[in-house]
Amino acid sequence: MAGRYAVLAFVVLTIVVVDQITKIYIDGSMQLHQSITVIPGYFSLTYIRNPGAAFGIMGTMSSGFRLVFFFLTSVLAMGLLITIFLRLEPGDWWGQLTIASIFGGAIGNFIDRLQYGEVIDFLDVYVNGYHWPAFNVADSAISVGVVSLLLLFAFEKRKPDLTPQEDSQL
């Protein structure tokens, strides 16, 4: 049982530390809106700050409303993730790593919102001028975790609801 929590803590802490170190580096070494091409035509480091949610949703709302909204939704989401984690079978490592990934990403972005009132984004992926909205390490962990969680749920082997005795009575 303790190993399960150690894995959760390790994954969460690794994501949070890498996320925060990369954001501190970008904030300290680049000017806001500065872009550095890494792979021409495909990838740049572009320093932006996102006051809203994913893709800038709610970015124009008042900062007070956003702070309360994101605080409450973050706390609720983290509570839900903990509940899911606790309900997973102890041997379900895929599920545990998935939840830990989402949880670590949520904490990384939550730290930004508490510290700056917005999230630092800097990974800029694009093809022929079509840009995916800039993101960060925490966003990546959340996205990979959510896709993994969807796959986990889609391919989960469910235990039959009926025992053989109950089934024969139908």
The predicted-structure confidence for 69-125, as pLDDT tens digits, reads as follows: 778 888 898 889 889 888 888 888 898 999 999 999 999 999 998 899 889 999 999
Residue 51's SS3 state is coil
- Residues tagged active-site: 121, 139
Looking at mean pLDDT, say which of 28-37, 142-151, 157-166 comes out highest. 28-37
% of residues, the chain, pLDDT over 90:
49
Q: Bridge-partner residues for 130, per DSSP?
A: 127
Q: Which residue in 124, 116, 105 sits closest to 17, CA to CA?
A: 105
Q: Bridge-partner residues for 79, per DSSP?
A: none
Per-residue pLDDT at 55 exceeds 70: no
